[in-house]
Chain A
Amino acid sequence: MNFITQSNSQSRSVLFENGKALCSYLNPEKEALAWVARQEIQKMTDVLILGLGAGYHVEQLLRQAPHLSISVVDFRPECFRFFEEEFPYSSNKVKCFYLRDGAHLDQRIFNFVSDIQPLVLPFRPAWQNHEHQFADLYTQMTFRSLEVLEKVFHQQISSQEMDLSKLASQKELLHLKNIFESTKEVESHLSLKLSVLRELWI
């Protein structure tokens, strides 16, 4: 991968990967403002930003919502280096997860996502050149992937309570009700809890 940095007409540095800017070249701050405005930041506590890119959006979110616990995920070390140089204050305030294996949750980030269950905020301009990998990560980080759910149920919840083959038949795991439909006919705490939640969406 070929990374370069260019300054725009406002003297803002923008990071490029294989010729594609990882944020707006003309006005990265305006783009970041618009992105933050679309989030319901008052209702958030823990967020995980998927895609660091040039980091203007992370800087802006931190500025507008200093109460937030912010984490950011990317698998390009050049992005983290750029972020530290351009926004040294923010880079110290944000928990950074560098995924060495590309679009694969390692144990460290799996544990983090599993324990904290943060709201995942995709920043798609930073996904340039890697849209499919980031989309896979998005699915995994929201636990809408069979592979991750299997891991959760094996590690945290008794797999005896689940019929994971039923989950496998789902093309996409879009809803908690898919999990409910996969609980076995046993009277378990998991089944009862899902029954409580099921009553909310009936």
Chain B
Amino acid sequence: MKILVISLLRLGDLLMQKHLLAGLLKKYPNAEIHFLIRSEFQSIEFFFPEVKKFFHFDGLRWQSLMQKQNQNILRPLKELTDLLDRLNNEKFNLIMNWTHQKGSAYLVELIDANEKLGLQTRQGQFFLGDNIWLKEFNNHFGTLGPSKYHYLEYLSRIFEIELQPPPKVLRSYVPGQVNRVIVQPLTSDAKKNWALKNFRKWIQLHRENFPLDLISLIGSPSESQILHDEFKNEHIHILSLADAYELLLDSHVLVTGDTAIKHLGAWAQITTIELALGSAQPSKTGAWQSPQYVLEPKVSCHPCPHTQNCSQSSHLCGEALSAESIENLFFQFQGGNKWETKQRTTFPQL
């Protein structure tokens, strides 16, 4: 049996979806799992040994081609057709659309299979079928309000795939010992970034409180310059995702607002502290981990829409998050509170 999973969301979503693969293989024990992912995420394929074959949706390239005057106007159409031909040559038995976006729904109609699950079009019209969970997800998940269920719980119910409980933290903070603390200060979305001066302040504070801890900063090659400019005296590792994962496996605590690294931290089963700024919605897409540590400032504009820039005159959610609130978590790991947390710190119950 051949199953195609369409997963065209962002990198963090893809990393989260890995939690469903064990259940998928349990339901279809002899199945070959194929994934259609965005081309720019090829570097994460090492993380999915369960997947027999990856296909790549080159949306960024096609967007670029559409803007080029010297490119054949039909080139994106030709490349999409080539991709669809390759997919249809596989003769899939089942397609699961884990993306739930309009473009992916059209793709489901264009790819042949005996059975198709998830959002799709039929004769060009969007079709949800009679799956009540799919309808519930469609009606509520895209809104800005909190969600009753985590993204993975929705997918589990929609596709009737068993979801394992959140993995427990294996390498937690050990008070009084040398702990390796990893910090990813930057994200790919400006409104999710906590100001770098705040990170500097918190690192200084942490060194005073927990001098034994080894703090390392990590970032992608595109973030190298800014990290080296802003954190001249710190250990900075510019890493691929594969190397970042290796480093996390050898660490105790991760502090980040970055979605993909957050999920890698959960996979590495280390204590992951999410700084949920901007459009982050931890009740929907928080790290699938137990316990889950989230610092989510309560300001009226949070969470903001994912597709828009920060609408405020200053970055209110970032300003509402203090260095002391992160530090307070470390004191809680030690079994005590040094500061009373002024902004609300949420610990969503999964």
Q: Which residues of A contact B (CB under 8 A)?
A: 113, 117-122, 138, 141-144, 149, 152, 173-176, 179, 187, 189, 191-197, 199-201
- Contact A192 B124, CB 8 Å, known A143-B74, A199-B101, A200-B59: yes
Q: C-beta contact mask, B101-125 vs A, less than 8 Å → 1, else 0?
A: 1110011011000000000010110
Contact A142 B124 (CB under 8 A): no
- Contact A176 B73, CB 8 Å, known A195-B103, A200-B63: yes
Is B62 engaged at the interface, CB distance under 8 Å to the other chain?
yes
Query: When A and B form their complex, what is the total count of cross-chain residue pairs whose Cβ atoms lie within 8 Å?
Result: 80
Q: A118 to chain B: closest CB distance in Å?
A: 7
Is B76 engaged at the interface, CB distance under 8 Å to the other chain?
yes
Is B334 engaged at the interface, CB distance under 8 Å to the other chain?
no
- Residues on B with C-beta less than 8 A from A142 are 69-73
Is B52 engaged at the interface, CB distance under 8 Å to the other chain?
no
- Residues on A with C-beta less than 8 A from B63 are 200-201
Is B77 engaged at the interface, CB distance under 8 Å to the other chain?
yes
- Contact A193 B70, CB 8 Å, known A187-B123, A200-B63, A201-B63: no
Is B96 engaged at the interface, CB distance under 8 Å to the other chain?
no
Contact A120 B71 (CB under 8 A): yes
- Residues on A with C-beta less than 8 A from B69 are 142, 174
Is B311 engaged at the interface, CB distance under 8 Å to the other chain?
no
- Residues on A with C-beta less than 8 A from B123 are 187
Which of B59, B72, B102, B106 has the largest count of A CB atoms less than 10 A from its CB? Answer: B72
- Contact A117 B124, CB 8 Å, known A193-B81, A197-B66, A200-B62: no
Is B22 engaged at the interface, CB distance under 8 Å to the other chain?
no
Q: B8 to chain A: closest CB distance in Å?
A: 10
Contact B72 A120 (CB under 8 A): yes
- Residues on A with C-beta less than 8 A from B72 are 113, 117-118, 120, 141-143
Q: A127 to chain B: closest CB distance in Å?
A: 14
Contact A193 B110 (CB under 8 A): yes
- Residues on A with C-beta less than 8 A from B106 are 192-193, 195-196, 199
Contact A193 B101 (CB under 8 A): no
Could you show 13 A-B contacts with beta carbons less than 8 Å apart?
Answer: A119-B68, A119-B71, A142-B72, A144-B73, A173-B73, A174-B69, A176-B66, A192-B124, A193-B106, A194-B77, A197-B66, A197-B77, A200-B66
Contacting A192 at CB < 8 Å: which of B62, B76, B109? Answer: B109
Contact B80 A152 (CB under 8 A): no
Is B78 engaged at the interface, CB distance under 8 Å to the other chain?
yes
Q: A85 to chain B: closest CB distance in Å?
A: 29
Q: Please report the C-alpha to C-alpha distance between residue A121 and residue B72 in the assembled complex, in whole angstroms.
A: 11
Q: Please report the C-alpha to C-alpha distance between residue A8 and residue B101 in the assembled complex, in whole angstroms.
A: 61
Contact A189 B71 (CB under 8 A): no
Q: Please report the C-alpha to C-alpha distance between residue A191 and residue B124 in the assembled complex, in whole angstroms.
A: 8
Contacting A197 at CB < 8 Å: which of B70, B71, B80? Answer: B80
Q: B45 to chain A: closest CB distance in Å?
A: 22
Q: A97 to chain B: closest CB distance in Å?
A: 15
Q: B17 to chain A: closest CB distance in Å?
A: 20
- Residues on A with C-beta less than 8 A from B102 are 195, 199
